[in-house]
A and B are shown apart, each in its own frame.
Chain A
């Protein structure tokens, strides 16, 4: 069975602080894909990044960075110098051999001015 755990239900930070959102996954598949999505207060779901199980390189995109570690089954997301516009719910997701997308329960990030 596949599972995605986002243990942090809600995080509050002050603007310009760095923040890391944790994601731990479980799967028996050797080939799988991990994703992060953002859901701002307006409600739409926005894709941020995808990683496949064979690519453990860390990714940086502007203030966003992702750390994928197969050894700990984690795919964590860090926002550097957070801004109020980063306030949203962030979801981690997993797609394995069956292509059943499994989402975590999400982490609500509040960035205070």
Chain B
């Protein structure tokens, strides 16, 4: 019973590098989302998806891209990492957008 799986758990990047944070869920959930958590800022929505092929921007989308080609996967791409993107990233899913979300364990990302 995996739930929401995020990989990697930790990553260190250099400024300007690109990478993809992976998120997969095995609950056949339609709604998936990405958040970043910074001290004193709570969780801020980056991008979300209400189903395969549909994505939309959240509060802080700049510098991040997403796609949703399957129901199960919702990768988050950093095209050119910046130190301001140092954060803990959480992926979440729910059956619908008004349902409680199931969160992954998070990815701690440091950009030097």
Contact = CB atoms under 8 A, between A and B. Distances in A.
A43 B98 contact: no
Given A45-B90, A91-B42, A106-B42, A101 B105 contact: no
B42 A105 contact: yes
A100 B59 CA distance: 9
B102 to A, nearest CB: 8
A99 B42 contact: no
Contact of A100 (B48, B92, B96, B101): B48
A35 B42 contact: no
Given A91-B42, A91-B43, A104-B42, A99 B98 contact: yes
Contacts of A102: 45, 59
B53 interface: no
User: Looking at A43, A50, A99, which has the most chain B CB atoms within 10 Å of its CB?
Assistant: A99
B71 interface: no
Interface of A: 6, 9, 33, 35, 43-45, 47, 50, 52, 91, 93, 95, 98-106
Q: Which 5 A-B pairs have the closest CB atoms?
A: A99-B97, A105-B42, A45-B103, A47-B100, A103-B43
